[in-house]
Structure 1
């Protein structure tokens, strides 16, 4: 190019071919998976240069610098947070050496959230984007591509940040979880309109979907006039073959689909994951000498999403009950065996004693137990007991979590407790993996999202869930103030009620009340009867923050098992006398499957309730 046009002019008037994948192509060339690709611009610049040169030779007129993940947050995972500027600068320099006057160089800026749970800080992300974009502009890029954004709101933040720093062209590319919609629920028509308002020069789609799915999405989308349209599809879907993980789409297929994308008015066509120089060459040959076609938007009838149905609930929830009367939850963990006869009999007796709900832990202490979902359903059908199911973040990834919740909804089980879960290393299968895709705060938010009729991925659902979500609180800590601060965040995330770990003395009950009296949701105070002298010793000396009165430990010493359980129940009754002065929610934990103990305590609560024992405050 003797005196080439600026990038904006070239994109407006020409049909250009972009490059293809960087990371997946490097993996095909033998670079080990797991190495941060952006760091290779410093440690193996010749590899990055080789990839750029192959794409240039294949016909690419726009090269993306190797900077997709070169932001401080992502680089910090590899101890590279201090090299943000250097990596971006050197990546641009490599691409510029290859491009010469033959191609344009754009800075690639990827989503920081990158598919994780959409829970991010605007101020923090703005600083991260500003740092990376400043480095790219200083290095001399011709423009920017903000790509692979699942959430429109994050993309707008990145665009706003970049636009304050430059007048150079900025292209914004969305990645779809569902065809035609962003993860945070916007149609592409709405998203593209918003991006134009915030200063985008171009809009488009990249990653996850192949060329046909991107074509389908564009056919149903209104693109605002004056915007450059781009498409960087994957080489189809990633799948397992005899030779390992592979992408399905061939270069010949991409040649055909490039023509179809041109018919949609796309001005810039490149490739994303799985594409190679062969894919780019095939498209370049197909499009050589052709001009862009005008964009013809579809005549859309206003898309009216069916409102998610909300089934009418026939029974009051625990939260509704506890506002008016003393409400008792009893934890009765599912068995470690396949035999459920004795367990169901215990549930039946607990129900007869006056329990409002039986709560089932989710493999407590990371020890394998029967599925609490299956057992809760059987329990509900055979004993008419109301189940409350615990859900940990430990055992299921996000796919499994949503599937599990959808199953609970289908079974009519709506009352749940979300907890982090003990790590697998302390359980009976210490070699098992702990998942922890999300923490308890995130999972609470996502459950409440299902209640709005929106899936974890942002897809609208035909029906709203009705989950009543509980959260856990451990008062047996040295710094109560910090624990209450964490509890408040769970309530802000959407927790409808709180269940506490067990307390063992009157002073602790009073402390919990004072610490939580401003919390705007019901508190179920935890009480678990002692069963033996050794049980008391363990709790007092080996569990942090748990205090058993010396007089009780001394009383238990020398008692046989039967005598100790009788005393344990009497002690729990004393605690209940105090607890019922402050709390309408009582959470009884059954020790070692001794359901007779918690049944007796439930009957005691009901007898006290008939005496109309005054409560010290109006229950939240």
Structure 2
């Protein structure tokens, strides 16, 4: 066949439609379409033929979901299925259509681990002579650039496409904004085409692709046939084929070079799309216009301003109510503000126990008390949609700071009743909010993160902190500093990180309190000699010890931190008022 790059000079390349959803329409065998490569190869070949006869000039191997986890670690079965998928596609295509290796997402954690898994598949494709590759339905770039570089090393004339799955708002399930994903691909220099597939229908996809900058790469689009509905426990796509073909015309008007269909599309969709494309000239890509406002109404972030000016702000953490009675919390917040704190932080369901929502409470404090607020947001309890909605509301209500944390795990005894979400970790969550800062928020949020100075493997904690900073975190709040080891780790952080640090201080109020934190609270390290200080001490004596220890720590870490993070224990607000004044004196006397 003609070299694919030569073909694209004069033609829009028409891909096939969906394999998985069309396979499900034709059969009810329940084995999954990839296993059908070896269980029912004639059916898979028949589907390929239907798409080619409908007008497709490119088809995908039936290998979307062939990660090793699908085969329970059986590499031989994995290879058998992939090889069969390649052979079936080649037999169907012959000289009628280009064959692309279809590589779906592999969720393995790190960029390097993802690459190692992709490499196994890539080697099989290359051994079979495949030269065209599609990395599709991706929610991040994990492993992709390394994989493309590897392919180009082995086959310099390979044609490689990267395609991302994003919602109509432009964000992937991992919280990445599509323009940022495109930029990583276009800047890598090893891809030939970039685009979108799945999740969105043609109408929304056209809006997303309207002003993208592909920097010379071909633009790819495979939208779904509308949006799915569930009837009788089965998923259906209700978009009519002629409507789909008409909607694709809007995408072609943008100068898209490669089109096809994803979930819900059938040979009928491709046939009508082929007819609508017939005789039409290739549209040139339009110049990209920047619509970023140059006159943003950015609020003054008083907390960030004090950090930037080196004024050592004081943050105080209060736990939100466990019920609907908000009066005491608001009274305590007033006292904390009057004592001289600069910002109040509100934990998000600490130790995985439900409390009043930190963001909603932050909005109330910010607007009724004119007190700066820092709600914590965990990745444990909300998916990307819920997180985005809450952030939009909080930002609109004047909340300018947020602290992102992964979140404490659900206790084992409750896991049958309460499900964790964890669509993000704290690094990805920070990146998600940073993209909202760049593209949505008129007044950007100051993104904060956590730093565990009590970690036994602090080098790993430092690496994580660097990743947080790279993804938009501007301030790190440390776990409570109570030991020499914590101070040494804090020194290491100061020497190695170019980021603002809020030093954590927690006043221990009794022997029982000390033993509880020592045994049951993750991230706090308390030595036996600290516990011994409180043995036999009454409330007043214990609080004096707490103030004395906290003052000593505040003095010792003064040069290592940019501010102080004071954590309220057992709702002892009167003690916190004294501690705020104590820490302010430490700062005044330096």
State TM-score, norm by structure 1.
0.77
Aligned match of 1:249: 239
Structure 1: runs of 5+ lacking an equivalent: 455-460, 615-620
Aligned match of 1:64: 60
Alpha-carbon shift at residue 416 of structure 1 (Å): 2.0
Aligned mates of 2:336, 2:413 — CA distance in 1: 28
User: Which of residues 373, 379, 388 in structure 1 aligns to 2:365?
Assistant: 379
Q: Deviations over 1:109-140 (max 9, x none)?
A: 346479x9xx974x776666565444224324
Secondary structure class of the residue paired with 2:450: strand
Structure 2: runs of 5+ lacking an equivalent: 172-176
Aligned mates of 1:218, 1:39 — CA distance in 2: 34
Higher alpha-carbon deviation: 240-249 or 584-593: 240-249
Aligned match of 1:21: 18
Aligned mates of 1:247, 1:580 — CA distance in 2: 64
Q: Say whether residues 1:207 and 2:198 are aligned partners.
A: yes
Higher alpha-carbon deviation: 442-451 or 267-276: 267-276
Alpha-carbon shift at residue 415 of structure 1 (Å): 2.1
Distance 1:484 1:130, change over 3 A: closer
Find the structure with the greater CA-based Rg.
1
Aligned match of 2:546: 571
Q: Deviations over 1:497-535 (max 9, x none)?
A: 222222445x35643443433133343332323333322
Q: Deviations over 1:535-586 (max 9, x none)?
A: 23323345577324447547433x5xxx335413433323322322322532
Higher alpha-carbon deviation: 324-333 or 411-420: 324-333
User: Residues 117-128 of structure 1 correspond to what in structure 2 (within 5 A)?
Assistant: 121=111
Alpha-carbon shift at residue 197 of structure 1 (Å): 8.4
Alpha-carbon shift at residue 475 of structure 1 (Å): 3.1
Aligned mates of 1:16, 1:325 — CA distance in 2: 60
Aligned match of 1:41: 37
Distance 1:513 1:291, change over 3 A: closer
The answer to whether the 8 A contact 1:536-1:553 is kept is no
Aligned match of 2:491: 514
Secondary structure class of the residue paired with 1:413: coil
Aligned match of 2:557: 582
Distance 1:157 1:149, change over 3 A: farther
User: Which of residues 267, 274, 278 in structure 1 aligns to 2:264?
Assistant: 274
Distance 1:296 1:181, change over 3 A: farther
User: Residues 155-170 of structure 1 correspond to what in structure 2 (within 5 A)?
Assistant: 161-166=150-155, 170=159
Distance 1:427 1:503, change over 3 A: farther
Between the two proteins, the alignment pairs up a number of residues equal to: 579
The answer to whether the 8 A contact 2:245-2:272 is kept is yes
Alpha-carbon shift at residue 158 of structure 1 (Å): 6.0
Aligned match of 1:109: 102
Distance 1:449 1:594, change over 3 A: same
State TM-score, norm by structure 2.
0.80
Aligned mates of 1:552, 1:263 — CA distance in 2: 72
Aligned mates of 2:214, 2:491 — CA distance in 1: 57
Aligned mates of 1:314, 1:271 — CA distance in 2: 47
User: Which of residues 69, 75, 82 in structure 2 aligns to 1:82?
Assistant: 75
The answer to whether the 8 A contact 2:377-2:403 is kept is yes
User: Which of residues 292, 317, 335 in structure 2 aligns to 1:306?
Assistant: 292
Alpha-carbon shift at residue 361 of structure 1 (Å): 0.1
Q: Deviations over 1:32-81 (max 9, x none)?
A: 88x764344345545534533554565656442112344xxx43465447
Aligned match of 1:527: 505
Alpha-carbon shift at residue 393 of structure 1 (Å): 1.1
Higher alpha-carbon deviation: 591-600 or 211-220: 211-220
Aligned mates of 1:180, 1:594 — CA distance in 2: 44
The answer to whether the 8 A contact 2:106-2:114 is kept is no
The answer to whether the 8 A contact 2:105-2:137 is kept is no
